[in-house]
Structure 1
């Protein structure tokens, strides 16, 4: 990344195109940090994620995935002049995707985001939908007077390189379709399913 360019914080929830944004920003030369803190207990994560996140963000050009959306205000305060990207999708489509992805596997990041009593999406649809929609609206209201600092991208409607390049003032974005990563088809591949099984087994190990 050019030293004079702003940091980029992707603050859309999981399953809104965050992995695609990671790959797109990486292609443009940004050093991108994804999820952090999933190896912690809920108590430790709740106590540390803001402080730890700000420390981590200082060493990267861009971030995406959880729990970054939960500390967008702190990121804005700590790194003035940064750019924020809110990836969104239709709520029904989003919930179906996150339910398909996580099922009933308990996840500490889901507890941090949706509540300790909602560790997975299945059976907690009302909570998940409400938190998702509220977050998007809060972000829009927060940046209402600073439209040049926030880009909303809905990849399902065709948003892609043109919007991203214009927002970041980049003239070197590729032509053609935007990157589509972590799709349902990709997740159904054998290699992906094996990777997810290993990740879930690690979650059952004693946590710090």
Structure 2
């Protein structure tokens, strides 16, 4: 493990994943890796519920990791991989809240309530075809929704406070030579300088806006129903 992402979801982590892979630090682990291979949900559940801390098995084959659930364990991972550098992705807290409340946390809140009939049928089909994926809500709750946000993902002021506190804690915990703080739009230069690699002759990736998030989620559900896992 050479690069650890400490930024919350919806801070440009999917773009950072693509950027790291273009720079030669791939494969890069992301929540998308969990969605694509649902057995990874059970691995994280073992960690989140305290039955495992086998980071080397979890990240076998990966040279970097970003997004949740990884970023929920940035302290442990920074200790376990002492040579790894840490990248903290941030953005305007209010914009982050607007994004996450319409994507990741919207999905989580829907799990708590009564879904429309069509969505309930799709969920049941996915649970039948991909039983590991059916554990995702439990894993997310145990890995970051409860320990980081105290389960209060429907409270705007609380979420923004947690977001700002997290950024401050990461900055305070790590020396400057080991930590890079970047925002969407910073481009290649700060990342490449931090990692000691040349700037590519392609544009910095821009991935996973809200529309893409919902499209990818629907596509993943369809894949799990058709193929199982």
Q: Is it true that 1:192 corresponds to 2:216 in the alignment?
A: yes
Task: Indicate which of 179, 192, 206 corresponds to 1:180.
Answer: 206
Tell me which stretches of 4 or more aligned residues in structure 1 moved more than 6 Å.
none
Offset at residue 17 of structure 1 (A): 0.5
Q: Unaligned 5+ residue runs, structure 2?
A: 112-136
What is the TM-score normalised by the length of structure 2? 0.69
86-95 vs 76-85, which moves further: 76-85
Q: Which residue of 2 aligns with 1:126?
A: 157
CA distance 1:163–1:50, change in 2 (3 Å): farther
Task: Indicate which of 50, 55, 79 corresponds to 1:77.
Answer: 79
Q: Is it true that 1:152 corresponds to 2:148 in the alignment?
A: no
Q: Which residue of 1 aligns with 2:169?
A: 138
Q: Which residue of 2 aligns with 1:167?
A: 194
CA distance 1:84–1:193, change in 2 (3 Å): closer
Given that residues 83 and 150 in structure 1 are in contact (C-alpha distance below 8 angstroms), is that contact kept between their aligned partners in structure 2?
yes
What is the TM-score normalised by the length of structure 1? 0.76
Given that residues 54 and 75 in structure 1 are in contact (C-alpha distance below 8 angstroms), is that contact kept between their aligned partners in structure 2?
no
Question: Does the residue aligned with 2:191 lie in a helix, a strand or coil?
Answer: helix
Q: Aligned ranges for residues 10-21 of structure 1 at < 5 Å?
A: 10-21=5-16
Given that residues 50 and 74 in structure 1 are in contact (C-alpha distance below 8 angstroms), is that contact kept between their aligned partners in structure 2?
no
Query: Once superposed, what is the RMSD of the aligned Cα atoms?
Result: 3.1
Given that residues 33 and 60 in structure 1 are in contact (C-alpha distance below 8 angstroms), is that contact kept between their aligned partners in structure 2?
yes
Q: Aligned ranges for residues 53-68 of structure 1 at < 5 Å?
A: 53-57=55-59, 59-68=61-70
Offset at residue 79 of structure 1 (A): 1.4
Offset at residue 54 of structure 1 (A): 4.7
Measured against aligned partners, the alpha-carbon deviations of 1:90-122 in whole angstroms (never above 9, x if no partner) come to 11000110011131233442553232796583x
Number of equivalenced pairs: 188
Quote the Cα distance in structure 2 between the aligned partners of 1:129 and 1:166.
30
Quote the Cα distance in structure 2 between the aligned partners of 1:42 and 1:124.
26
Q: Is it true that 1:8 corresponds to 2:3 in the alignment?
A: yes
Q: Which residue of 1 aligns with 2:30?
A: 34
Question: Does the residue aligned with 2:88 lie in a helix, a strand or coil?
Answer: strand
Quote the Cα distance in structure 2 between the aligned partners of 1:164 and 1:125.
31
Given that residues 50 and 71 in structure 1 are in contact (C-alpha distance below 8 angstroms), is that contact kept between their aligned partners in structure 2?
no
